[in-house]
Structure 1
């Protein structure tokens, strides 16, 4: 059976961020065929609008690094509103060892060395399950680079800036590993936290693209059954 494939991202007004999502979707399409893109916030089309114009069964992959309101509440609500009878929503993209490997590579690119302090910077969430997932993601990175401190740039404490400030008092070099998908307001803020260097977002890294492609070709998730 042929499925329609829909990649769902947060949405951003930052042109570089939007270009990154477009690049990711295009790269995934090279692996799995045509991929449509929807956004849960800021931009359109939203998932409901995409699904309303789709007749065949659909696999929806949330391009989010942890679950939370948008993945657990917002996205299912838009799917329900569409009335589409056959939609499978896969889990969020992270945490995953693949993402930890990408972050390690990004750290090496900006000059990190073993012994340097690492702060993994996430947007954050008020959802306890999402916060546990972010802690898991930090632990996976820690398995590769040693001690990792988890900080938040939007929602939650400790903030990235506070952790960097504390670690710098020890005289160590401090590196921020950006656990963000694309450039935007949040990533820009990381450059103002006083770290020695900040990695690039995960972006359209080939391994992230392959991870998304695998989500589409081997979807793990519960088919969505609309309520009547």
Structure 2
């Protein structure tokens, strides 16, 4: 059993995107329950308390930030009735870079475009270090530097996505934004309003998750299963 633990959003399309990601994992033959760390029910503790056997909690997050390190383990401790293993978060993983590139190309990215990498924003040092790694790795994949922007800048010196678009536009006719976001919501709406000529969708949308994201959930589950017999949470 997988408990797919997402952040939570009030945007209906965001919830649909998470449900479709869960459906894709179920298609591989694994039972999945969706839970949320914040904003919307059901909470992780509630879902774990309803289960009748061991489970693996897979954090549907793109960086190892506060929710992954603090909130989710606390919810597991509160709600578990049976052994629970906590998997690694989805990001940053190499296959997500490929999914990010696919989304950008499908949105209309051209080789000559300047590129902005749009992330949610965080104060957490580990989350920011992971985003920096993604920025460097994605630039290497594209063969050109990318400009990092945040949908919700949290620290002095962080660029908003709109500011990053303007910085990237210097000497370029077009700017394309790659969305390092898992699902639709208020953050992606800010990305879409950044003024870029091309804006890629998030990794999971209301029409379906990128197949590599679905495969990564299954991989994280498989990696964490060994904890159920060795050192469950």
**TM-score, normalized by the shorter chain, greater than 0.5:** yes
Q: 2:72 aligns with which of 68, 72, 75?
A: 75
Query: What are the ranges of 5 or more consecutive residues in structure 2 without an aligned counterpart?
Result: none
* 8 Å CA contact retained: 1:38, 1:44: yes
Distance 2:225 2:53 in 1: 18
Distance 1:117 1:166 in 2: 10
* Structure 1 residues 114 and 221: alpha-carbon distance in aligned structure 2, compared to 1, 3 A threshold: farther
Is the partner of 2:27 in helix, strand or coil? helix
For residues 1-228 of structure 1, what are the structure 2 equivalents within 5 Å?
4-145=1-142, 146-156=144-154, 157-203=158-204, 204-219=209-224, 223-225=231-233
* Structure 1 residues 83 and 181: alpha-carbon distance in aligned structure 2, compared to 1, 3 A threshold: closer
TM (normalized to structure 1)? Answer: 0.91
Distance 2:101 2:223 in 1: 26
* 8 Å CA contact retained: 1:119, 1:151: yes
How many residue pairs get matched? 222
TM (normalized to structure 2)? Answer: 0.90
Distance 2:82 2:124 in 1: 29
Q: What's the CA shift string for 1:42-75, capped at 9, x where partnerless?
A: 1111111111122322111000011111111110
Cα distance, 1:95 vs structure 2: 0.7
Cα distance, 1:85 vs structure 2: 5.0
Distance 1:108 1:62 in 2: 27
Is the partner of 2:224 in helix, strand or coil? coil
Distance 2:47 2:4 in 1: 10
Cα distance, 1:221 vs structure 2: 8.3
* Structure 1 residues 98 and 137: alpha-carbon distance in aligned structure 2, compared to 1, 3 A threshold: same
Distance 1:174 1:86 in 2: 48
* 8 Å CA contact retained: 1:125, 1:131: yes
Query: What are the ranges of 5 or more consecutive residues in structure 1 without an aligned counterpart?
Result: none
Greater alpha carbon shift after TM alignment, 100-109 vs 123-132: 100-109
Distance 1:150 1:115 in 2: 18
* 8 Å CA contact retained: 1:91, 1:221: no
